[in-house]
């Protein structure tokens, strides 16, 4: 099955370069390009792509607001953010708005293509430790996310084991590390992760991690702390 991709970047040359790399793949096709967030929102609704490769900083409607609008719709596409700096408040806000991960703009072509395939399959593309470092750096002074308060009761739907797995996800552990911590199989961990994502109404580990911080299940790491 061919993955459909929308490429969003305000720099024409950069946008064309990413589009060319993606369109050259036999299992991917670029269905549209947008130079700003407003165009991205319109094309996302019109074209219904599987994945949007989204720039963060754009004039007019930025990538944060565009991502929030797009992911707030029914059956939204996955959003993969491209950014110049990995430790960036804009990236954190875009993840909070519903993006499934981020890559640096100087990423190798193979890594970009791998990232698109990963988010299309329902996972996040950034390493759990990178997620924790980013969120820990910016979460302290940010207002509560969309889940805090109204969806805090969702935690009551988790079993004790699922809640503990959530804290381990937020602390940066991958499935193999969680399995070793709990002395269970990786397959069992995957079952726990899938169950807690479903019960919490979040789509991936990135969103689950942000939720854990919002609801006080994870400790914010002070800026400058080494991971």
pLDDT tens-digit map of 116-156: 998 998 877 775 556 666 676 666 555 555 545 545 677 78
Q: What is the reported pLDDT for 152?
A: 66
Sheet holding 78-83, edge to edge: 28-34, 3-8, 51-55, 78-83, 102-104
Q: Which residue has the higher pLDDT, 19 or 124?
A: 19
Q: Which residue has the higher pLDDT, 44 or 100?
A: 44
Q: What is the pTM of this model?
A: 0.76
Q: What is the reported pLDDT for 90?
A: 79
Beta-carbon contacts of residue 61 (< 8 Å; ≥ 6 apart): 36, 37, 38, 40, 41
Q: Which has the closest alpha carbon to 96: 53, 52, 51, 148?
A: 148
């Amino acid at each position: 099955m061919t993955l459909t991709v929308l490429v969003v970047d305000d720099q024409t040359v950069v946008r064309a370069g990413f589009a060319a790399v993606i369109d050259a793949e036999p299992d991917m096709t670029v269905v549209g390009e947008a130079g700003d967030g407003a165009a991205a929102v319109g094309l996302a609704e019109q074209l219904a792509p599987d994945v949007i490769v989204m720039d963060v900083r754009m004039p007019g409607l930025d990538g944060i607001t565009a991502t929030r609008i797009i992911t707030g719709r029914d059956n939204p596409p996955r959003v993969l953010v491209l950014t110049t700096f990995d430790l960036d408040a804009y990236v954190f806000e875009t993840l909070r708005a519903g993006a499934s991960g981020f890559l640096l703009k100087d990423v190798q072509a193979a890594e970009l293509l791998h990232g698109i395939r990963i988010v299309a399959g329902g996972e996040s593309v950034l390493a759990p430790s990178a997620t924790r470092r980013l969120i820990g750096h910016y979460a302290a002074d940010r207002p509560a996310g969309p889940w805090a308060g109204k969806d805090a009761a969702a935690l009551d739907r988790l079993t004790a084991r699922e809640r503990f797995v959530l804290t381990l996800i937020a602390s940066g552990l991958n499935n193999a590390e969680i399995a070793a911590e709990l002395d269970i199989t990786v397959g069992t961990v995957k079952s726990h992760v899938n169950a807690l994502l479903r019960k919490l109404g979040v789509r991936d580990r990135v969103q689950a991690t942000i939720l854990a911080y919002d609801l006080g299940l994870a400790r914010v790491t002070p800026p400058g702390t080494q991971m």
